[in-house]
Amino acid sequence: MNFSKSIKTIIVILFVLLNIIFCYFSVINTIEDYEVMLSQSMTQKSKAVVNFFSYPENIINILSKNKDLLTYDVNNRLLKNNILSLFESIIVPDSRISNIYFISNEGKYISYILPDKNDLPDNYFSSRDWFKEAIKGKKQFYWISHKSDFRYEEDVISCIRRVVDEYNRPIGVVGLDIEVFKLSELVQGTTVGENGYFMILDNQNKIIASTHLGTLGNYITDKSLNDQKITNYDKSLIMSMDNKKYKYSLFNFKNLPWKIINVIPVNEITKKIISDIALFTICSLVSFAFALCLYLKNKSTLSLILELRDANIKLKQYASTIEEIAVLKERNRLARDVHDTLGQTLSILIALLQVSLLSCKTNIKETEEHINEAILVTSNGLNELRRSISGLTSTKQEEDNLFDILEKLVNNFEYSGLKVDLSVNKIEQNISKSHTEVIYRICQEALTNSIKHGKATEASIILKFSDNNIKLFIFDNGIGCKKICFDNGFGLQGMQQRIKALNGDIKFGSDGENGFNIHVEIPLVITEEGNIDDKSFVSG
């Protein structure tokens, strides 16, 4: 007992340890999967962003070497038109570019889009910080995110490069503006995991491009974004934004003052970990329960085998008993059928022979007819007796409907001198064979008894069908009886057994002097197909 208890304890401990180990590795693997997801998505998206910014740089590089810009004179109208035509040829095919402009050292400018204000001072542009930085030429390209100096309400990013003469002296700058919201096209339709997305930030961590356009212009204040130790494709970090925690990876552009980040909500990762652990726990519990059931089942196998042995012995005894019961039921059925058929045949035969004895001295022809009728009745009775012994249905019942069967029965008995009046209110076409068999046998036995015991000369059979039952009334004018006895013979007992098998009711009556009557009521159960259900009938 103690050994079995120790085994159970060890199994439980192993089960708990297995769940703890799986939970640990599930957390590690899920986090690693999201790390890979962030890294791979960043690699793909950063290439697309770099390619996006490379095109404006190429345009500015070509424009900075254009001869018309090098010789630009604000008073030369033809030259000015040529430059504007050049700007237009670049802007029109590319919807990303909103403006191209050239500004000289003296502050003179030529722009595809005119400023919103026409009264700008001559040194307005040359005094701007971005102009001063670009003219210094420390960087080949100077990128900046700011409000447009030409359209004051428009957020743009500008790519600026200084223009030098043949002696490498700066003569001005050429610039190209891209509306900020155009950058969001780079990250639209791109997701990381289920709810993750990309953002592009400027050097002050202002969101200048995002899948969620409602966040444009917002600042991210998390200090981890300004950590100089973070390099591209390092391990992801956790940051706070809009009072939520996000896991993110960072990519800093080499020649651009911006960075791109992709973020995944921490609660998405947490839900994935919890769902994986829950799924494993459920599967483990099911497996544990299954194993426990097998253990308990094996433990009870020995007792079940013993019980099965006892049950097998009892089943053999039951089988023997059932076989005896089946033999007894078949014997009773055969006895009833033989009694009914033989009784009817002999009763009619005796009556015909008695009539033949009376007519043989006076009318030979009539005697011959009676003898032929006796032979026919005897032959039919013998055939029915053989079919009863073989367990088959009466030939009459197989070939005819109930009314025809009863009419033939009545005709047979009239040979014996018994006048029978048959009345049926309607013919039920769908009545079952079991109901036909019972009604036929009841009428057969009743008429036989009317001749044999009642010495009757007249009888009536009334058969009534209704939706729920069959009612059968049989009357004769015999001598009747004072006491109805069921103990001897098969006649009345056989009737009762047949009616009981159909859940019906039978009653016998006599005033003790004149006549005998039988009242039968049998329930009908109509199936959906319109046939009489005879499930309640048990042969024998």
Q: What's the pLDDT score for residue 489?
A: 56
Structure tokens, 109: 């400018």
Residue 282 lies in a domain: no
d(CA 268, CA 517): 90
pLDDT digits (tens, 9 = 90+) for 343-390: 667 667 776 676 677 677 777 777 777 677 777 777 776 766 676 666
More confident residue, 240 or 367: 240
Nearest Cα to 109, choosing from 100, 137, 65, 59? Answer: 100
d(CA 245, CA 265): 6
Tabulate helix, strand, coil % of the chain (nearest 5): 50, 20, 30
- For the residues of 280-337, what is the DSSP string, one character each? HHHHHHHHHHHHHHHHHHHHTHHHHHHHHHHHHHHHHHHHHHHHHHHHHHHHHHHHHH
Single-letter amino acid code for the residue at 121: P
Domain range for 453 is 402-523
Band of pLDDT at residue 392, cut at 50, 70 and 90: very low
Residue 127 lies in a domain: no
Residue 468 lies in a domain: yes
Residue 151 lies in a domain: no
What b/e string do you get for 378-405 counting C-beta neighbours within 10 Å, with b at 16 or more?
Answer: eebbeebbebbeeeeebebbeeeebeeb
Q: How far is CA 265 from CA 197, 210, 519, in A?
A: 9, 15, 88
> What is the CATH number for 446?
3.30.565.10
Q: In the predicted model, what is the mean pLDDT of the chain? A: 80
pLDDT at 536 over 50: no
Burial tier of 261 (Cβ tally within 10 Å: 0-12, 13-18, 19+)? buried
Single-letter amino acid code for the residue at 507: K
* The most confident of 95-99, 234-238, 319-323, 429-433, by mean pLDDT: 95-99
Q: How many independent structural domains does the chain possess?
A: 1
Residue 484 lies in a domain: yes
Residue 491 lies in a domain: yes
Quick one: angle between helices 433-452 and 402-414, nearest 10?
A: 20
Q: What's the pLDDT score for residue 316?
A: 84
Residue 425 lies in a domain: yes
Residue 449 lies in a domain: yes
Band of pLDDT at residue 331, cut at 50, 70 and 90: low
Nearest Cα to 254, choosing from 141, 164, 88? Answer: 141
Q: What's the pLDDT score for residue 538?
A: 34
pLDDT at 53 over 60: yes
Nearest Cα to 44, choosing from 187, 178, 183? Answer: 187
